[in-house]
Amino acid sequence: MGCSVNTRMKRPQTTDLPRISQVGEIKVKPEIFVQENQHRFAEVYRLGESLGSGGFGEVRICFHRENGNKRAVKIMRKDLMKNDRKRDDLEKEISILKSMDHPNIVRLYEFFEDTKRLYIVMEYCSGGELFDEIIKRKNFQEIHAAQIMYQLLSAVAYLHNHSVIHRDLKPENILLEDTNDCLNIKLIDFGTAIMSSNKVKDAMGTAYYIAPEVLSGTYNEKCDMWSCGVILYILLSGKPPFDGRDDTEIVNKIRIGKFSMEDEPWTRISNEAKNLINGLLCKSDSRLSAAQCLQHPWITSKARRALATEEIIQEVMRNLTAFHTSNKLRDAVNTFVTSQCLSIQDTRLLREVFRSMDKNGDGKLSREELMEQYVRSIGAADAEIEVNRIMAEVDTDNNGYIDYTEFLKATLDMRKLLSSDNLKAAFRMFDRDGSGSISAAELKKVLEGGLASDDKVWNDLIVQVDQNGDGEIDLQEFQDIILSKL
């Protein structure tokens, strides 16, 4: 263990938090299933090839020993984390990533810790970095650049709505989902991200992409928008707007703020694209927000794509209409499987439907967005009734929106979702001690989500499922209640 590094991850405090006093008050979110795995990493995963290395460790491919799932793991050496600041940054990164539920933000699955290392297990994207694709292509056609920027801006809008500033947006921190499709991206590396709704002072970032206000003093989330402008400039031209022989020269040019869109290939690039870049590479006070960029004419005209047919959209809407949350345990299992067990390929088509319904691109579906879709399909009068029912059933965390995972679990094929392997994985998640049965205490440990609660809540949840009256849930009882009425 490093000399000044704590042994285990800090646990959330429950003081002064809302109290769960009945089963109906349990809020099931994907983040509650992102937990520290008490087993040794090598018992659960087999390591594959290296994807890259840095000052504190490396990122490698890993394979789940039981189901073969291919994932990425960030391995951090504790002896290289010489102070508590780095450890705190790592815990902050985990905390932020846990709470993210967006189709273009990499998903965090679990983390491990032993005496020498920390392991953070995440979604694997086989396409590599956007940076490498830029090197290969030199520059992108406008329609392709717009599709990439739409996804990036949607992710950034989602972050900013949750008071998260990424602070290191660059093509190296944007992954392509797979080698066959360079247009679907995932935002990664939240090591320098910060949660703040106020001005920030400490300078963070990479020279080419850093905003001028970060160099000169206090700044806010608009620093991310400057970085988006630099990325867009590079996508279209293949080179940065502010270049130099070293970081000092680059930073000096950023402070001056002058850049050119006169030479090739800019003569062939639309005025709308240039207008968006000008709206991003400007002073912070007049710089566009992510939400404003998503409504910019260049994005709305170039980034549209119809990968989901009307027939598929109608089928998804029927699934939303039919979705019913019968009990909290089933909802928890559905959420766990949707967020922890499915691959990018399993959800790709549904993600396109989600994107087509998410009119403002903020990464969640509002009541108004659902109404717009259903009014076109079944008329205003019936749509009002249907959308009210959908919101009541699908919005299981009661935040007033249909979040991405809520959408997926309501629209996926339940028989595929609740396969034997997935159910066994869910059972193991709850069976913390590996005894072969789930106790009220184990339900509490998983589902409490850092809040305070009454023991009666978890005993009542057991009673709803426990068929033989022994006060615990065995695998057969677990499968029976989850698969009933399918």
First to last CA, the chain: 49
Per-residue pLDDT for 3 more than 50? Answer: no
Query: Which tens digit of pLDDT belongs to each residue from 367-410?
Result: 999 999 999 988 988 999 999 999 999 998 889 999 999 999 99
Give the pLDDT confidence score for residue 49 in this predicted structure.
96
Check if the beta carbon of residue 111 is closer than 8 Å to that of residue 31. no
Give the pLDDT confidence score for residue 432 in this predicted structure.
87
Check if the beta carbon of residue 26 is closer than 8 Å to that of residue 457. yes
Pseudo-torsion of CA 43, 44, 47, 53, nearest 10°? Answer: -110
Helix (H, G, I), strand (E, B) or coil at 129: strand
The arithmetic mean of pLDDT across residues 270-299, rounded, is 97
Query: What is the radius of gyration, based on Cα positions, of the chain?
Result: 23
Using left for φ > 0, alpha for ψ between -120 and 50, and beta otherwise, residue 35 falls in beta
Query: Which tens digit of pLDDT belongs to each residue from 33-50?
Result: 999 998 999 999 999 999
Query: Which tens digit of pLDDT belongs to each residue from 245-270?
Result: 999 999 999 999 999 999 989 999 99
The model's confidence at residue 9, banded by pLDDT at 50, 70 and 90, is low
Annotated binding site: 74
In the block, which residue shows the tokens 């290939």? Answer: 265
Catalytic residue among 101, 168, 362, 466: 168
Give the pLDDT confidence score for residue 343 in this predicted structure.
86
Check if the beta carbon of residue 157 is closer than 8 Å to that of residue 361. yes
Annotated binding site for ATP: 74
Query: Which tens digit of pLDDT belongs to each residue from 335-377?
Result: 999 999 988 888 989 999 999 999 999 999 999 999 999 999 8
Between CA 298 and CA 305 the distance in angstroms is 14
Give the pLDDT confidence score for residue 50 in this predicted structure.
95
* Long-range residue pairs from 129-137, CB within 8 A, at least 24 positions apart, any chain: 129/171, 129/172, 129/173, 129/174, 129/175, 129/176, 130/171, 130/172, 130/174, 130/175, 130/176, 130/182, 130/185, 131/170, 131/171, 131/172, 131/174, 133/176, 133/182, 134/171, 134/234, 134/235, 134/238, 137/238
| Known catalytic membership, residue 362 | no
Per-residue pLDDT for 291 more than 60? Answer: yes
Query: Which tens digit of pLDDT belongs to each residue from 153-206?
Result: 999 999 999 999 999 999 999 999 987 766 899 999 998 999 887 778 788 888
Instruction: Share the mean pLDDT of the chain.
Output: 90
The model's confidence at residue 306, banded by pLDDT at 50, 70 and 90, is low
Give the pLDDT confidence score for residue 10 in this predicted structure.
54
Query: Which tens digit of pLDDT belongs to each residue from 95-121?
Result: 999 999 999 999 999 999 999 999 999
What does pTM read for this prediction? 0.92
Between CA 486 and CA 482 the distance in angstroms is 9
Domains along the sequence of the chain with CATH? 29-122 (3.30.200.20), 130-302 (1.10.510.10), 310-417 (1.10.238.10), 431-483 (1.10.238.10)
Between CA 4 and CA 25 the distance in angstroms is 40
The arithmetic mean of pLDDT across residues 422-432, rounded, is 92
Among 23-27, 158-162, 421-425, name the most confident range: 158-162
| DSSP annotation of 451 | -
Q: What share of the chain is helix, strand, coil (3-state, %, to 5)?
A: 50, 15, 35
Four-residue CA torsion sign, 251, 257, 263, 268: positive
Give the pLDDT confidence score for residue 7 in this predicted structure.
39
Task: Identify which of 134, 252, 249 has the alpha carbon closest to the alpha carbon of residue 185.
Answer: 134
Longest Cα separation, the chain: 77
User: Is the bond preceding 265 in cis, omega lying within 30 degrees of 0?
Assistant: yes
